[in-house]
Amino acid sequence: MFTDWLRRVFGGIISAIVASLARLGVHPNTLTIAGCLLQLGVGGVLGAGHLRLGGILLAATSVLDAFDGALARQRFGATRFGAFLDSCLDRVAEAGVLIGLGWYYLHQPGQTPELLIYVALAGSLLVSYARARAEGLGIRCRDGLFTRVERTLLLVIGLVAGWVIPVLWILAIGTVLTALHRMVRVYLQVRDDPIEQAPTTQG
């Protein structure tokens, strides 16, 4: 995936920054919370109609995602709660950005952008849920092109370049297809596997 390529290319830079953060005593959960709050702020910038500025800020704040996990693994020791918090706040941050963009388009002529944002948001959450549910069953599920890094990169490009509507079409279709792809992959792996107790579907 593109995410793995980024880690290979920028691994040295990330390690150096992580070492500096560790010396300063920064806790990985602090980075996770700060990154979420900053991206919610980006949603506010987008809601106010500053799309290009919002794209630039989204690119800058998204960098924090590369540091919290690395800091936890390399310096503090990754914890189950830290991983849980990171996953939850990633969803909050992504939703906040898309909701902010939707708020802007809500006050513009036409309904297509808002509908695309709704579909993209639902699709992105389903992509993440499919992975979480599969891994809860002991199945590795990281397949698909539109993971969070790819979704964020596309949105940044669309906002900065002024291609928001085409990018929203790509995100809406791509996230749904990625979620379906993950479902099919899990089906092919465990379609005949019995379970002792029916898994809960409650939220």
Residue 109: how many CB atoms within 10 A of its CB? Answer: 6
Going by C-alpha positions, the residue among 161, 142, 149, 167 that lies closest to residue 93 is 149
Provide the token pair at 86: 């990171």
CA dihedral 16, 40, 114, 110 (to 10 degrees): -110
Indicate the SS3 state at residue 109.
coil
**Terminal C-alpha separation, the chain:** 29
User: Two tokens at 201?
Assistant: 């579907």
From CA 137, how far away is CA 194, in angstroms rounded?
12
What DSSP string describes 37-98?
HHHHHHHHHHHTT-HHHHHHHHHHHHTTHHHHHHHIIIII---HHHHHHHHHHHHHHHHHHH
Closest CA to 11 of 61, 90, 67, 82: 67
Catalytic residue among 86, 90, 143, 192: 90
Catalytic site includes residue 90: yes
Residues with a catalytic annotation lie at 90
